[in-house]
Structure 1
Amino acid sequence: MRNLLKTFLIAWCVIAPLWLQAQNVLDDYIAFGRKHNLTIVEKSLSLEKAMTNLEMARSMYLPSLTFDATYTTANGGRMIELPVGNLLNPVYQTLNQLTQSQSFPQIENERINFLPRNYYDARFRAGMPILNTDIKHNKRVNEQMVRMREHEVEIYERELVRDIKVAYYNYCSAEDGVKVYENALNLAQEGKRVNERMVDAGNGLHAYVVRANAEIAQAEAKLVEAQQQVSNAKYYFNMLLNREAEEIIQRQTTNASDLGQQSSGLQIDSREELEALGNQINMQETLVKMNKQVFVPKLNAFVDLGSQAENMRFNRNSQYVMIGAQLSMPIFEGGRNKLKIKESQLAVAEGKQQKLRVQQQLETSARIANNDVTSSIKNYQNAKQQLEAAATYQRLIQRGFNEGVNTYIETIDARSQLTNAQLAENLALYKWLIASAKLERETASYILD
């Protein structure tokens, strides 16, 4: 264990500066992806919508001012008979006789229609809630909804950060694989050249040249496959960043990260998933309180300033001011409110159980990710040692072949071992980096600006 730690510390002191440079490039890509990813944009719009709903809920505390105007006219309908002529004409006649004049004319009986004709009513109404517990609870629900939307954005951002890192490492691994196959192809071509020269000198076998051609063809086929993997990795990476598929990916030397992530513990308390579930529980508890206060009276006050008259008259007599209050309180709803309370309480209990289940799942995922990092570190160190041994073996076999000690078959086997060791070391390196990115996601240790 001590030798393992010593080897890692030495390797880290050498590769840390290069790794930090690569991380700067990767961090730039992550920032670009968080800004331009289509799903992030979509979830940001949902967050903005939730914040707008919250502002609407807060505005319910403020007074409202409206303007209403009605115009009605009618003909026919119910009428009332007013016998004012029958009542007043005898009196007027007597007064005229006493005064010897016609100062009091005769009048007709009146018929008044209940429906108004050419009637208008225009008013400004200012309203203000005095007592309404639903407004308070609705504001709290919208506040919790905003937090949930914020957590949804953060959750996807963390998923995106992990996906961008994994895609970047896969691209780098595929590119390094191309270099390995190019090197294997060069070695195979060099082997063919040496064998052809030996055949020309009368010291070689033509079968070795044929075998070299087969080795070259195999290396070329693997090189084409590796280049295709590079293209696919580039397409996926650019898709995550919402860029053109063929856009060039900036590349710097990438090396394994330190063990800081692994030694930081497996704390998952900061996971946005748990915080979002906690907000959901709080929202359901708020609904329970709101349903329990259904019988609390609701009181609103209003002031009307307007004018009403017939034939569109507007004067001091038509103008009016009216002040009023409206009280509303349910008396009986058939037990529906109790059912709503029970429904909300069950939703709270369900949310708590869901949070416990998700917490267990997240803890398990974090432990698995931590174990993957541990095993990937060991695999990388073993692959590095195997690469050093394979490189030494290939040099010795090639030297022996040049001196006539070893056969050409042994050189092919040595080159094959070297190629496989290079691929294994490259794969182990990026598996380590990918495992570290996944552990970073599981512990929510990446700092979101």
Structure 2
Amino acid sequence: MNAMFRLPLRRLLQYAIVFIFLPGRAQTQDAVLENYINQGLKNNQGIRQQGFLLERNLYALKEAKSFFLPEVNFNTSYLDSRGGRKISIPIGDLLNPVYSSLNQLTNSSVFPQVENVSQTFNPNNYYDAKLRTSLPVYNAEIIYNSRIRKEQIHLQQAELDVYKRELVKDIKLGYYACLQAKEAVTILENAVTLARENLRFNQALVRNDKAIRTVVSRSENELIGLEARLEDARNQSLSAVAYFNFLLNSPLDNPVELPSVQQADVPAGITGEGRREELVKLESLSRINALSEQLAKAAALPKLSTFIDLGSQGDFVKFNNDTRYYLFGVTLDWRVFGGNRTQHRAKQAALEGKATSQQIDQVEQQLALQVETAENRLRSAARLFEASKSQTALSLQYYNDQQKLYREGQLLYIELLDAQNRLIGDQLQQSIAYLTIQTRSAELERAKASFVF
């Protein structure tokens, strides 16, 4: 019977092994989490979409810069017509009297009679083929469009970084949720083992007429309840793993490497602080608004360009020195009046810039409040964890004392169950409190933008 008395105590010590701290475990956990973060940043579908949008903006900038280069176009046309407007040319009326006089003077018919000519305006069997090379000499709209495209790249890069930071935070929270679910399963598995041993102990007491049958029934009910809680904890663990794999763009049932929880070191805060990409986005948007205002004003400026045509025109299929030609020109386009459209567009862009400036001030205050709140929540979580550790140690001592009294026959079984349930609850609460610290630390890291990609 002494061996039976010592067995639950050993199991209880195993039950508390979750909170034994081994040096180096924190580094293992951090290394595993870092690998998962890298995997998520590499495989996440949202990151890929943002990357495609950034690449699109890079090509848009190249497109805008291409307007500074010469543009060469080949153009050809062929015309064949019948009818239409005509012009009469009285060649016969003008030349025939002269030709008749010449024939009489020479006593010959060398000079024939000529018919009058009727020529249509539309060309017949006519082609025109040319290469036109055009080059903008001065166009302010092209300049500001190029600058806007360049600033849009900065905006999209900031958008990508925002998405990455949110993903890193979600991966960390998902990983801690998996750890928490695993710890809950471990605690409840140990509790079920302890409940089974208590059941066997009570059955032995009943067989030896040391206790009544009620304690066995109560032990069986307690075991059934713990097994149900264990099953629920395992299902929650499966759900947490599925969500974590979803963030990594992996099969939902992939196993997650979860090292033992290290509770020796409690993070006190995040020392580094970076520039929030939300502010970078708004500042880039403000610059785009300023450039848009300049672009609107540039519509009122003259546009100067030049071109040269190298081509051939004449009867179809004929190509010689007479058909070849070149044409050089300079064009100036200057809008004299446009119904004040330019002024209205410039004012719209100016007002958008003012609205963005006000939004920047508001977001700066919101982000400062977010950092302050995250720091306070982390400090509160640390204090709650310290309190839960003290409470768990007290509950463990209390349970050991109650178990000793019960086995000496000086305590009712219901009082032992109360001590056991209190211990299970406190251990679960301690696990939750510790992983809450990790969660609050990840939230503070996100608020300060201190994670380095």
TM range (shorter): over 0.9
1:89 is the counterpart of 2:60: no
The question of whether the paired residues in 2 share the 8 Å contact of 1:262 and 1:373 is answered with: no
Letter matched to residue 44 of structure 2: N
Q: What secondary structure sits across from 1:48 in the alignment?
A: helix
Q: Paired residue for 1:382, among 366, 387, 390?
A: 387
Measured in 2, the distance between the counterparts of 1:389 and 1:25 equals 33
CA displacement at 1:183 relative to structure 2: 1.0
1:6-405 equivalences in 2 (<5 Å): 17-255=24-262, 259=267, 261-264=269-272, 267=273, 270-405=275-410
Q: Distance in 2 between matches of 1:362 and 1:15?
A: 38
- Structure 2: where are the runs of 5+ without partners? 1-20
Q: Separation in 1 of the partners of 2:266 and 2:153?
A: 37
Count residues in correspondence. 432
Is this contact kept in 2: 1:129–1:301, CA < 8 A?
Answer: yes
Distance 1:23 1:92, change over 3 A: same
Q: Percent sequence identity over matched residues? A: 34
1:426 to 423, 431, 444: 431
User: Residue 288 and residue 320 in structure 1: after superposition, are their counterparts in 2 closer, same or farther (change >3 A)?
Assistant: same
* Inter-partner Cα distance in structure 2 for 1:360 and 1:412: 52
Q: 1:343 to 1:15 in 2, by over 3 A?
A: farther
Query: How far apart are the structure 2 equivalents of 1:168 and 1:238?
Result: 10
Q: What TM-score do the two structures reach when normalised by structure 1?
A: 0.93
Partners of 1:191 and 1:260 lie apart in 2 by 41
How far apart, in 2, do the equivalents of 1:261 and 1:88 lie?
109
- Are the counterparts in 2 of residues 255 and 429 from structure 1 also a CA contact under 8 Å? no
Letter in 2 for 1:326: T
Which stretch of the first structure deviates more once superposed, 283-292 or 103-112? 103-112
Tell me the distance in 2 between the aligned counterparts of 1:29 and 1:92.
104
Unpaired segments ≥5 residues, structure 1:
1-13
Per-residue CA deviations over 1:120-146 (Å, capped at 9, x if unaligned) read 111111111110011110011111111
More moved, 82-91 vs 319-328? 82-91
Partner Cα distance (1:261, 1:152) in 2: 26
Mean CA deviation greater in 429-438 or 118-127: 118-127
Cα distance in 1 between the residues matched to 2:397 and 2:23: 26
The answer for the alignment partner of 2:5 in structure 1 is none
Shift of residue 427, structure 1, vs aligned partner: 0.1
State the shift of 1:16 in Å: 6.6
Shift of 1:341: 1.0
119-128 vs 248-257, which moves further: 248-257
1:388-447 Cα shifts (integer Å, max 9, x gaps) = 222222222222322333332232122112111110110001100000001111111111
CA–CA separation in structure 1 for the residues paired with 2:140 and 2:243: 51
Query: TM-score scaled by structure 2?
Result: 0.92
User: What is the letter of the counterpart of residue 35 of structure 1?
Assistant: K
Checking the alignment, whether the CA contact within 8 Å between 2:268 and 2:378 is kept in structure 1 is no
- Please tell me the residue identity of whatever aligns with 1:346: L
Q: Counterpart of 1:407?
A: 412
State the Cα RMSD in Å.
1.6
With over 3 angstroms needed to count, the CA separation of the structure-2 counterparts of 1:260 and 1:411, relative to structure 1, is closer
Q: Aligned equivalents of 1:95 and 1:284: distance in 2? A: 84
Is the contact made by 2:269 and 2:441 (CA closer than 8 Å) also made in structure 1? Answer: yes
Structure 1 window deviating more from structure 2 (348-357 vs 306-315): it is 306-315
d(CA) in 2 for partners of 1:15, 1:275: 42
Q: Deviations over 1:224-261 (max 9, x none)?
A: 11111111111111111111111111111233565464
Task: Give the match's secondary structure for 2:299.
Answer: coil
CA 1:185 to 1:260, structure 2 compared with 1: closer, same or farther past 3 Å? closer
Structure 1 residues 139-148 or 98-107, which shifts more? 98-107
Q: Which amino acid aligns with 1:171?
A: C
The SS at the match of 1:365 is helix
Kept in 2: contact 1:125–1:305 (CA 8 A): yes
Letter in 2 for 1:325: V
Distance in 2 of aligned mates of 1:258 and 1:440: 15
Letter in 1 for 2:311: G
Separation in 2, partners of 1:118, 1:443: 76
Conserved? CA contact 1:234–1:249, under 8 Å: yes
